Structure 1
Amino acid sequence: MERKVSRIYLASEPDVVHFLQVAWEKTLGSGFVITLTDGQSAWIGTVREAEISQEADDMAMEKEKYVEELRKALVSGAGPADTYKFNFSKDSCHFSFDKNLKDVSFELGSFNLEKVANPAEVIRKLICDCLDTIAENQAKNEHLQRENERLLRDWNDVQGRFEKCVSAKEAVETDLYKRFVLVLNEKKAKIRSLHKLLNEVQEPEKNMEHERETTTHSEVTSDRDAVYDESTDEESGTPPNPSVLAPGHRRKGHDLISFAFF
């Protein structure tokens, strides 16, 4: 059975400390046993599942949500100290608790308790339950501490391995980079050598082609000049040199001149 003890203050006795214990078998919604004591007297009561369901229906709440509200009020003590107000009448043994929402307060639950004839036994059992809970929590704490130390050792080991992997990775990357630089330089040298060889092969061909182009151009220029000279002589109409004329032609002209004078 799971138990939870909390310290509460009643609205009718705000200066008196009361201890409230809630114990349940399966879940809080399946029913629980509630014990209240002020250190001198004790009251106990059993809340069944049907009563919890009826309270949820009366408040128009889903059962799961209502059980969560019960847990906050009676078990976990969630929220500010003034969120829940506890009331208990020692005459009627009626226990109730309210929830405060700003300026609005409503009753969250109410149960009928019975006064215990031998409160010392109940208080003694309550103290034993508290000590058992403390011992159980201490054992859990020690287990968690050992587990935390183990996880810390594992983490340090993993971190050491990770740092070694990082160092090995950097060394591999440096080696690969050096090899890449060597291969790249060899490829560059080979490309330069091939370019030089290609230029040496293409240079004679370029010279021969240039000579052929020069020769062809000279021949074309000579032919063009000759044709130009001939066309220039024909168009100018320059008379031939008299010294190269035939003797017959010269005498005939002389006779014509003489005839004209006579």
Structure 2
Amino acid sequence: MDSTRHTCLRLELTEQVDEKAKDVIFIKGTWFNSHFALSITDGLDAWICNASEDEVEERADQWDQPVSEYIAIAEQYLGFRQPGSTYSFLDAGNGSKRLSWTFEKQGVKLEWRWRCKPSTNNKKTTAEILDFLMDANIRLSEEVVRKTQSTERLKIEAEKCLAQSEKLSSEKEEFESAIYAKFVAVLNSKKAKLRELRDQLSKQEEARKSPQEDASSEKTESYDEDTGNEKSDEEPVESLAGTSKSVPATRQYGRKRKNA
């Protein structure tokens, strides 16, 4: 299906004789995939240019371009004024005008020209252009209103989000402060408990060591006392001479066995 696009260009033209004198024309373009149509008015007179498929194909072949590329470039330059391009709208005889514009391609300056014939109904052609401009202006105004309203809504939402973000940030700081205070309290409590347990273990260790030291001391004293009061294993025996003499028990036992 052949798609249709519409453009309208307000073009200021400078006369070659007097550069200060400027004529204003409006160029309405209707663009198809393989051809286009132009309606031009200066507010008083009007002109039209209907570029057929054959004419467009012939021009595209002259410039060694596909038709789609030729249409795209023409729409680009006649839909929006391009900086650096020279536009002209000069007499071509019999009331016709020659619309031309220049552009560069691969360092070469090119000029495209199209002959525009006088409109058979100036008022109708001019009115169609003005209606299109009015409709476009209304659509743009409505779009501006929608964009403005959308911007205001986004602004309000942004302010709400900012306020909520600040609130959340404040609550987060308060929460972190409270949690930190609780953590410090728990940590100090744990430290105190650990110190208490350490003191208890230290006291229990001292209590275990104290009886062992006392017992060791008692054993040492008992051993010393037993050594000082140790009884002699020697038993008194009567000697042959009738005198008492201590003889070791072992020796006495030996004598008994011998006497036996």
Q: Structure 2-normalised TM-score? A: 0.64
CA RMSD of aligned residues (A): 3.6
Structure (1/2) with the larger strand percentage: 2
Aligned-pair CA distance for 1:71: 3.4
- Please say if residues 89 and 95 of structure 1, whose CA atoms lie closer than 8 Å, have aligned partners that are also in contact: no
- Please say if residues 95 and 110 of structure 1, whose CA atoms lie closer than 8 Å, have aligned partners that are also in contact: yes
Amino acid at match of 1:176: I
Which consecutive unaligned segments of at least 5 residues does structure 1 have? 214-262
What residue in structure 2 maps to residue 154 of structure 1? 157
What residue in structure 1 maps to residue 103 of structure 2? 99
Residues 51 and 183 of structure 1, relative CA distance in 2, 3 Å threshold: farther
Q: Aligned partners of 1:203, 1:157: CA distance in 2, in Å?
A: 68
What residue in structure 2 maps to residue 130 of structure 1? 133
What residue in structure 2 maps to residue 90 of structure 1? 92
Q: How does 1:112-191 map to 2 (within 5 A)?
A: 112-191=115-194
Structure (1/2) with the larger helix percentage: 1
Spell out, residue by residue over 1:200-231, the C-alpha distance to the aligned partner (whole angstroms, 9 max, x if none): 23345667889999xxxxxxxxxxxxxxxxxx
- Please say if residues 99 and 106 of structure 1, whose CA atoms lie closer than 8 Å, have aligned partners that are also in contact: yes
- The equivalent position to 2:50 in structure 1, one of 46, 51, 57, is 46
- Please say if residues 56 and 66 of structure 1, whose CA atoms lie closer than 8 Å, have aligned partners that are also in contact: yes
What residue in structure 2 maps to residue 75 of structure 1? 79
- Please say if residues 10 and 25 of structure 2, whose CA atoms lie closer than 8 Å, have aligned partners that are also in contact: yes
- Please say if residues 18 and 36 of structure 1, whose CA atoms lie closer than 8 Å, have aligned partners that are also in contact: no
Aligned-pair CA distance for 1:192: 1.3
Q: Aligned partners of 2:205, 2:54: CA distance in 1, in Å?
A: 106
Q: Aligned partners of 2:176, 2:11: CA distance in 1, in Å?
A: 65
Equivalent pairs counted in the alignment come to 209
How much identity, in percent, do the aligned residues show?
22
- Please say if residues 6 and 20 of structure 1, whose CA atoms lie closer than 8 Å, have aligned partners that are also in contact: yes
- Please say if residues 87 and 99 of structure 2, whose CA atoms lie closer than 8 Å, have aligned partners that are also in contact: no
Which consecutive unaligned segments of at least 5 residues does structure 2 have? 217-260
Aligned-pair CA distance for 1:104: 4.6
Spell out, residue by residue over 1:136-180, the C-alpha distance to the aligned partner (whole angstroms, 9 max, x if none): 221221122122222222222222222222222222112111111
- Please say if residues 97 and 110 of structure 1, whose CA atoms lie closer than 8 Å, have aligned partners that are also in contact: yes
Q: Structure 1-normalised TM-score? A: 0.63
